[in-house]
Amino acid sequence: MTIEEIEQEAARVLGRLPRKFRARLHNLAIIVEASPTRAQLRSMGLNPKEDTLYGLYEGTPLSDRSAFDPPLLPDRITIFAEPLVQDFPDPAELRRQIRLTLVHEIAHYFGMDETEIEDLGY
């Protein structure tokens, strides 16, 4: 899959989210990049020589915001194409992992931590 095809798949995943969740996705950019940078890996406590990421949420979770906060820059969810394509060569498995990755990062946007997300199966 190319970056453009992964973008299309991410758009399909977003379109299939329940309306009550889609309606709360404001000021959020979802992008696809080739691979995570060393700085992104380090920010997550990962070793750039051994670890990688499929996706990354950067921003202030909804649960941490206040109506009194100043306007924020858009939050950002990045999907990383190269590690996904490398680790999931089967197209059906790749689409499944894109969905899991995007839903996982959206859960962070809503304020869920890793344990809560894993408990839900993501």
Q: What average pLDDT does the structure give for the chain? A: 91
pLDDT computed for residue 31 by the predictor: 96
Q: Which two tokens stand for residue 30?
A: 């979802």
Domains (range + CATH), the chain? 3-59+74-119 (3.30.2010.20)
| Whether pLDDT at 70 is above 80 | no
pLDDT band at 71 (very low <50, low <70, confident <90, very high): low
| Whether pLDDT at 28 is above 80 | yes
pLDDT computed for residue 86 by the predictor: 96
Tell me, letter by letter, the H, E, C secondary structure of the chain. CCHHHHHHHHHHHHHHCCHHHHCCCCCEEEEEECCCCHHHHHHCCCCCCCCCCCEEEECCCHHHCCCCCCCCCCEEEEEEHHHHHHHCCCHHHHHHHHHHHHHHHHHHHCCCCHHHHHHCCC
pTM (2 d.p.): 0.88
Phi/psi at 37 (5° precision): -80, 165
- Rounded Cα–Cα distance for residues 59 and 69 (Å): 14
pLDDT computed for residue 122 by the predictor: 67
